Structure 1
């Protein structure tokens, strides 16, 4: 994209709503032509207020263009995806409100993968956290890219569990691509930019704002051919994502839980509405559309080498009790201590040995996962 085209896109999207921008682009073909059309050419596609903004250049436009160019130059895998680009993901294109412009940081090719959304509570139970990691890791090992929203709780657990699988993970942000929210996921965000993909439709510099998060959920749903809700209250963003997935004709899955738990009520509501009940990974995989097969994205030589070069454990090594305790999950030290019955100081020493042997990977957030050959 030329600097002039970037400026035109940013000016158009700064002045009008997504719907108005879509109508202008349909009429005139590109932002430059739309901006040059004038009031007579805009017609009823824009409101009077939008027309006035289009006539007068936004005062912040120069600063926005500068911030965007600086962000793009800050990483070799940063790019902008436009609605008309050849690699715009078809599932998202065929939704009611596909984004006109997306900022990408990471492995752009992951947009061509078969994707499944994994979403849920920001304050999950221990079981909910373990379930999210189990299903996300299983989906990733099966070749599906796991999509979520980088929020605390289920979202973060799903990203961490899928990050080192062959399917990978996509985080859809509710902020600008240069912002991290929550701040506690700064390290996870950096790892996703290196191993997975960060996606945002918001201008560079956009801080966290409450209305943006429900809006970004339509992108999570739109990229995915199915949406798994692990834990959710009755009033939660996860149910918004599930509704948007259903409206887009995608499968909705829900994990049941204790009947008196507030964190299970959202999932039980979805099950009453016809969502697919999921108790294990096979339930999930059996319900996904059978067309095609999960495709492994091309290996990116710029990615961190940790998981790709890991040797497959030999049968003797596989007998190690800690490997059996980790299983296919991504686990914390506390969870592994509960599963194995080992004290944490002994766990730390043994985990270090397993890391040096190439059998265990230490992930962001002091988490551990078995290493497998993709």
Structure 2
């Protein structure tokens, strides 16, 4: 439920009608951060809130690391979008590997602090390099038959998706160029591109190149 990729993942799941589970590092009598109280309420309509802590338990730092074992256990795969050299995401990845679950990591610029964790996971072969939604499909051996996607002329796009489509209107672009053009930061761009690819409005080409598909 944290700010950033946690909240974004829950919101994306709800947006596309998918079930989502929020695992708390505290009791169910509160929501942390409190700014996500409405999100937590919405999750209960198509998913659940889960905790192994008693009510009135506060969100202590050590609780989050312990909570990650549940996150890893519930998930078919763990995806690390961004992480410093040390962080909770790496703990989750380590636990997922111990459960023999797949771990994916989005690579980043080696000079960026918040890319060091992902790059380490990939370099040490503790995670599969994730550049597109196709990598997840192949990594998990999902049996998805290719079929032509008929795009409605009235396709409803979010503001972020529209900005991406406008940017890719006449061009194929590398992810770094997209980050620079939109000024969103690598983590947000990577997440938005992944969601857009799942939706079928963009295509991922070799070398982290993207083009529109509508």
Aligned-residue offset at 1:195: 2.1
**Alignment match of 1:262 (pick from 108, 113, 124):** 113
Q: 1:316 aligns with which of 147, 153, 160?
A: 153
Aligned-residue offset at 1:225 = 2.0
Q: Residue by residue, what CA displacement relative to the aligned partner does 1:68-125 show, whole Å, maximum 9, x if unpaired?
A: xxxxxxxxxxxxxxxxxxxxxxxxxxxxxxxxxxxxxxxxxxxxxxxxxxxxxxxxxx
- Extract structure 1 runs of 4+ deviating beyond 4 A: 335-341
The corresponding residue for 1:209 is 60
**Structure 1 position 243, deviation (Å):** 0.4
Distance (whole Å) between structure 2 residues aligned to residue 247 and residue 172 of structure 1:
19
Q: Which residue of 2 aligns with 1:190?
A: 41
Give the deviation of 1:214 after TM superposition.
0.4
Per the TM alignment, residue 222 of structure 1 is displaced from its structure 2 partner at its CA by 0.8
Q: What TM-score results when the alignment is normalised by the length of structure 2?
A: 0.68
Indicate the residue corresponding to 2:133 in structure 1. 281
Quickly say closer, same or farther: Cα 1:331–1:222, change in 2 above 3 A: farther
Q: Equivalent residue of 2:44, what SS?
A: helix
Distance 2:104 2:27 in 1: 29
C-alpha RMSD of matched pairs (Å) = 2.7
Structure-1-length-normalised TM-score: 0.40
Distance 1:315 1:338 in 2: 18
> Alpha-carbon deviation of 1:226?
1.1
* Closer, same or farther: CA 331–219 of 1 in aligned 2, 3 Å: farther
Q: Does 1:170 align with 2:7?
A: no
Q: Deviation string for 1:305-363 (max 9, x for gaps)? A: xxxxxxxx983324xxxx4xx3xxx655xx7557648xxxxxxxxxxxxxxxxxxxxxx
The structural deviation recorded for 1:164 is 3.1
Distance across 2 between alignment mates of 1:338 and 1:289:
29
Alignment of 1:269-308 (within 5 A): 269-274=120-125, 275-290=127-142
In the TM superposition, residue 160 of structure 1 has moved relative to its aligned partner by: 0.5
Mapped to 1, the partners of 2:16 and 2:32 lie a distance apart of 24
What are the Cα deviations for residues 35-83 of structure 1, in whole angstroms up to 9, with x where unaligned? xxxxxxxxxxxxxxxxxxxxxxxxxxxxxxxxxxxxxxxxxxxxxxxxx
Tell me the residue number matched to 2:82.
231
Give the SS at the match of 1:227.
Answer: strand
1:314 & 1:247 partners in 2: Cα distance? 41
Deviation at 1:167, TM superposition (A): 3.1
Structure 2: runs of 5+ lacking an equivalent: 145-149, 168-194, 200-214
